[in-house]
Chains A and B, each alone.
Chain A
Amino acid sequence: MSEVAITRAEWLHVCKRSDLVANSGVCALVGGRQIALFFLPDQEPQLYAIDNWDPIADVGVISRGIVAEIGGELTVASPLYKQHYRLTDGQCLEKAEYKLVTYPIAFEGDDVLIQIDH
């Protein structure tokens, strides 16, 4: 008899719309994880959630990076050593071996919800 691991994804409330900063990032602590939230009102989608941990600098600062479009793709530039991570899938553009985890995120009215596996 074989066992099948089932991962259950759940939408969690993180914060209010007013906690976000337009065109910039903030950081939330969800289930022990630091997650960077970016709110870009003029883009589609408007919300992005990506790991806050910068694996190259080894510190949690991704939420404090500047949003930059590189070759048509939206990225965040790490504030320490300036590598770019794609907001949609977390891929580092300069170093292929680094990829940050991204999370589904959405508004529900004024609430910000995020989906986390656990």
Chain B
Amino acid sequence: MVKQKIVVIGNGMVGHHFLEQLANRPERAMFDVLVFCAEPRPAYDRVHLSEYFAGRSADDLAMGKVEQYREWGYDLRLNDAAVSIDREAKIVTSASGAAEAYDHLVLATGSYPFVPPIPGHQHEKCFVYRTLEDLDKIQAAARHGKIGVVVGGGLLGLEAANALKQLGLEAHVVEFAPGLMSVQLDEGGSKLLREKIEELGVTVHTSTATELIEEVDGGRLRMQFKGDKELVADLIVFSAGIRPEDNLARSAGITLGERGGIVVDNHCRTSDKNIFAIGECALFDNRIFGLVAPGYSMARTTVSLLCGDAAEFNGADMSTKLKLLGVDVGSIGDAHGRAEGSAAITFVDEQTGVYKRMITDRAGKKLRGAVLVGDTDDYDTLLQYHLNDMDLPDHPEQLILPALDGAKPTLGAGALPDTATICSCHNVSKGDIVGAVQGGCCSLADVKDATKASTGCGGCSALLKNVVDTELAALGVEVNNDLCPHFPYTRQEIFHMVQVEEIKTFDTLLHKHGRGKGCEICKPTAASIFASLWNEHIHKKPHVGLQDTNDTFMANMQKNGTYSVVPRIAGGEITPDKLIVLGQVAKKYDLYTKITGGQRIDLFGARLEELPEIWRELTDAGFETGHAYGKSLRTVKSCVGSTWCRFGVQDSVGMALAVENRYKGLRSPHKIKMAVSGCTRECAEAQSKDIGVIATEKGWNLYVCGNGGMRPRHADLFATDLDDVTLIKYIDRILMFYVRTADKLQRTSVWLENLEGGLDYLREVVIEDKLGLAEELERQMGNVVGTYQCEWKTAINDPEMLKRFRQFVNTDVKDEKIVFVEEREQRRPATREEIVKIAEPA
């Protein structure tokens, strides 16, 4: 088979989406694919660019890794811009001199920031907000400045203003138009947004035109505005809109729009049928779509066409919902009500700072647009009415009015047509979700895995849950969350019973609320709940039979029935003397030693009966149990921090020690790992942990619910620049809330994904104390902290408990069936074949 060759020019988000979609098609094998990318790195997430300042690294933002492209079999040419297209010969030439023939050419060149030609705009302290390199330059300039100005009060301009604020500058926004976000918001919405943003300390100048920028004494910049006003700044960021990057197409003679942009038809084809254009360089129906979702949609259309399917791009909805400087903003459809025959319903609450406006047709039957500022809870519902052209209810005003009796008319998932888009990031329709449920997905998590719905921005999570639940109910599936056959309750319900009724033993719990005799699911769950609440020693008589082997013997059982021993090395900090003790103990008992992934030392191969002796020696030397066996706090990883590191901005070791010593012994639904990094270089990899802490110049950024393991998840930024006390307070509350409400063996990552309202809700509970629980959560944690005991220390001083560690109750002989062999100068369990060989010498 002769393969066709696809050349892609540009590797931004849209270009990447094209390549990703193509890679997932069986037709992929029909093509050779080559990508020219002008930037030094493959595609990254520009939508979340500002998070770069909040501690996310270039790697975190990366979408296409070089290895991934290699795996897909693409020829990726980084740092090599395409410079000309010979349409006749069908050849693209690049800056490095490569000349590559194509059968199909895809232009994904994107756009560039527009900089108004104000005299002085080329000054070295004038920037744009587009690439990671731009952000690096802004950050460097911000270090020596006090005042930063953003020219442009659109969506991206406000993002940039927030970034300047985060960098510690006094931020100003200068907008030529009379209002902020004038494309998406009407006058009322724009006015309220301005008030809210000014409350946050950003100064807004509207109806202001800049006429001149000049350097004044001391290297600062003076901005001269029309009408004699002026402002002195240390740096200026231009964010005055984008222009399509169409130069290459222009010089190749491809048809452009009057004001630029590569003209495409509804197949994303340009005037040359072998050349496609997608994303922000493409002009469809005389419009440039400056959002990522329409670009993705164009990419999918093009992939489908190349693979032989019929596909069309028919424009895109430009509705958007976002948080700007912490202010919720939503805009749907014709937000200004420009179409003829429009009527509006407006709700304004000056007290709480909420503005909502619906634009309908004159009959009030169809929703044409909406603006929401300060509260976007109604966005999803309104958007569905708009996108699916559904008839509004009889009193449409109720859709935006506060519900007086909680009886707000919500849009039942059942009312949506199958074609309704639920997740626009991944283009998942209601029909796709229904199909997944009918195909056997029985939970929200299953549906997410199968369809990718709600795994992008997550904005559709509530609606997705609604659709999934409705569909499950329609199929007559009763969602069974029972813990096990012995308890017809969820873990959360059992937790409440135990707490409210002060139940302290499994027998009582089973007698009052359960049935039968218990099993390996409910027993350890109950033991964990008892430990979280009452914190008694796990070897206390009534709890003995409830523990898994690891908890029973306070060590981790390995494949040959021996155990590994992990003493706590808080924060990874250890004295030479203690290191020597570990070495001596390991040598004495001939234990295999290994540094773990969590900065501790694991001693393997201890026989059951050796555990107490080993632990006596370790506790004598000052070691404590590391709880490596429990569903409990494991490690708090740390980098070396400001004490030694030239880049550290805070004492990460000190904080890691404080955190580890506080939460050691806490039992939870799943094991918990944490990390503290001393600067944004993030050497402790805190963003992959349940609780991650990263130092900033001003304090600590707190990340939550990250996960390594089978399904890795980056932690979410929960709060920024916290002082020590607030940091600990928030962690207390988050962890206890998790312990109380999570399902059995549910990791924090899954817990958060299933938490209705997600991260915002968690913030409301923890920071704003929405449930009035904060004090109780802290008290509960205080109790766990206050009743800590080293389980091993208690055990070795109790002869009754020690009896448990005998290999045989009736003799002191050793278990002869445990056989070791040597490898790399240490012992390891013998394999089955090796045991046979040893038993029958030749």
Residues of A at the B interface (CB closer than 8 Å) are 14-15, 19-24, 26-30, 34, 37, 43, 57-61, 64-72, 74, 77, 79-80, 82
Contact = CB atoms under 8 A, between A and B. Distances in A.
Contact of A66 (B524, B804, B815): B524
Contacts of A27: 807-809
B560 A59 contact: yes
Interface stretch (B75-83, B160-168, B511-519): B511-519
A60 B520 contact: no
B817 to A, nearest CB: 6
A61 B559 contact: no
A59 B832 CA distance: 11
A29 B609 CA distance: 14
A64 B557 contact: yes
Given A68-B520, A79-B548, A82-B520, A26 B809 contact: yes
B688 interface: no
Given A22-B544, A26-B809, A29-B811, A59 B552 contact: no
13 contacts: A28-B808, A29-B813, A34-B817, A57-B559, A58-B832, A61-B549, A64-B552, A66-B547, A67-B517, A69-B516, A69-B517, A79-B549, A79-B557
Contacts of B810: 14-15, 19, 28-30
Interface in B484-518: 485-486, 516-518
Contacts of A82: 520
B516 A67 contact: no
B808 A24 contact: no
A61 B561 CA distance: 6
B516 A80 contact: no
Contacts of B516: 69, 72
Interface of B: 485-486, 516-521, 523-524, 541, 544-549, 552-553, 557, 559-561, 608, 803-804, 806-811, 813, 815, 817-818, 832
Contacts of B486: 69
A28 B815 CA distance: 11
A92 to B, nearest CB: 15
Contacts of A77: 519-520
B148 to A, nearest CB: 59
Nearest to A27: B808
Given A64-B549, A66-B520, A19 B809 contact: yes
Contacts of A14: 809-810
Contacts of B818: 59
A43 B518 CA distance: 13
A14 to B, nearest CB: 6
A15 B811 CA distance: 10
Nearest to B806: A26
Contact of A23 (B545, B806, B809, B815): B545
A19 B803 contact: yes
Contacts of B813: 29
Nearest to A39: B545
A77 B553 CA distance: 16
A107 to B, nearest CB: 15
B523 A24 contact: no
A34 B521 CA distance: 27
A22 B803 contact: no
Contacts of B808: 27-29, 34
Contacts, number: 91
A118 to B, nearest CB: 17
Listed residue (A23, A61, A77) with the most chain B CB atoms within 10 angstroms of its CB: A23
User: Which 4 pairs of residues, A with B, have the shortest CB-CB distance?
Assistant: A23-B545, A79-B549, A68-B519, A59-B561
A68 B523 CA distance: 9
Q: Name the residue in B486, B547, B549, B552 with the highest tally of chain A Cβ atoms < 10 Å from its Cβ.
A: B549
Given A14-B809, A59-B561, A70-B519, 13 more contacts: A15-B810, A19-B809, A19-B810, A20-B809, A26-B809, A59-B559, A60-B815, A64-B552, A64-B553, A68-B518, A69-B519, A72-B516, A77-B519
Nearest to A13: B810
Given A60-B815, A69-B519, A23 B803 contact: no
A77 B548 CA distance: 10
Given A19-B809, A29-B811, A64-B557, A24 B519 contact: no
B545 A24 contact: yes
Nearest to B515: A69
B557 A24 contact: no
A59 B546 CA distance: 22
Contacts of B518: 68-69
Contacts of B557: 61, 64, 79-80
A4 to B, nearest CB: 33
A15 B380 CA distance: 69
A55 to B, nearest CB: 12
A77 B557 CA distance: 14
Nearest to A16: B809
A60 B817 contact: yes
Nearest to A69: B517
Contacts of B560: 59
A60 B560 CA distance: 8
Contacts of B546: 66
A29 B545 CA distance: 22
Nearest to A67: B545
Contacts of A23: 544-545
Nearest to A82: B520
Contact of B817 (A59, A69, A80): A59
Contact of B804 (A21, A57, A61, A67): A21
A25 to B, nearest CB: 9
A70 B523 CA distance: 13
Contacts of B524: 66
B543 to A, nearest CB: 10
Contacts of B817: 34, 59-60
A22 B808 CA distance: 16
Nearest to A38: B545
A69 B680 CA distance: 51
A67 B811 CA distance: 24
B517 A60 contact: no
Contact of A28 (B544, B548, B809): B809
Given A29-B813, A59-B561, A65 B519 contact: no
Given A19-B810, A30-B810, A66-B524, A24 B561 contact: no
Nearest to A54: B561
